[in-house]
Amino acid sequence: MSSVLRLARLSTERRDCVEEETDASWVSGATPRTFQAKTGAMPKALEAMPRPDIARPFMRAAWRRLAMASFSVDPRVLRPLVPAGTLLDEHEGQALVTVVGFWFQRAKLFGVRIPWHQHFSEVNLRFYVRREVAGQWRPGVVFIRELVPRRMVAWTARLYGERFTRVALSCHHNIPEDDNTPGPRRIEYAWGRGANAAKFSLNTNADAGCARAQGEASFVVDRSWAYTARRDGSTWEYQVARPPWRIWPAIEVELCGAMRAWYGPALGDALAGPATSAFLVDGSDVAVYPGHRIWSSAGRNV
């Protein structure tokens, strides 16, 4: 099954994803607050990031070349997955799930680089929730399934209650290293083998420049919180700090293969429908802060 905005055969250069250099002064140094104390200014990569509640992230990395495609889904499919203490978030009355493929670079856990786990692709399926705190809404995401090619990444994430699965996963693209270089862009993520093989690809227009996300794209992209429902019924909240991202709207997107096998019949059928939006995101350095429990297994806020 496939979902297509517009299918076209393009002749594009395809090459494996490679490491990119970005401003990472804050990654190799101390925490943002100690950096600010020493220099009098925030690191460039963090100037536009939201101020976290906690000083020291547990993970630092770069998330680059994000391909994102969203699909409408019956909210009744998602409600059993909504973590306690949060509400299902809809865009203009429509519940959405989003397939996201991206390139994970320069990962550190508690400041330590993990050998052979510095650069890899990930594909995840997520939906959207919100939580009210002191009269303000925190827009967040919930991951339904996350696919990675590294065994240690999947094992570590499962310790935190995340739904990670190790799988054969590849990324090919023709994206220039300089995000400001004009021209068409194509990216493809592929995972699984044989009857379980699947593919997600999109193309952007040669003349379309990148811009800040608006409308549905902003609803999907501009989220600084993640929520995880643990097996004991509790809910954990994580904060992600990063600069604003820019997007290139897609002119073609294809999602095909064994979607029902990976995501179940209801979600697999939703992913076979037309995409409500699709775009490529430049990405950036990110900091993920330690999670804390917001809803106890006894069914109350904590």
> pLDDT tier at 19 (50, 70, 90 boundaries)?
very low
> pLDDT tier at 297 (50, 70, 90 boundaries)?
low
pTM of the complete model: 0.77
Query: For all residues of the chain together, what is the average pLDDT?
Result: 77
Specify the higher pLDDT residue, 70 or 207.
70
Of the chain, the percentage scoring pLDDT greater than 90 comes to 44
Q: What residues does each domain of the chain span?
A: 2-295
Is the pLDDT confidence value at 45 over 50? no
Homologous superfamily (CATH) for 2-295: Acetoacetate decarboxylase-like (2.40.400.10)
> pLDDT tier at 80 (50, 70, 90 boundaries)?
very high
> pLDDT tier at 299 (50, 70, 90 boundaries)?
low
Residue of 100, 248, 252, 102 whose CA lies nearest to 183 = 248
Least confident of 61-70, 89-98, 158-167, 246-255: 158-167
Spatial separation of the C-alpha atoms in residues 168 and 189, rounded to whole Å: 11
Least confident of 85-89, 94-98, 176-180: 176-180
Is the pLDDT confidence value at 183 over 90? no
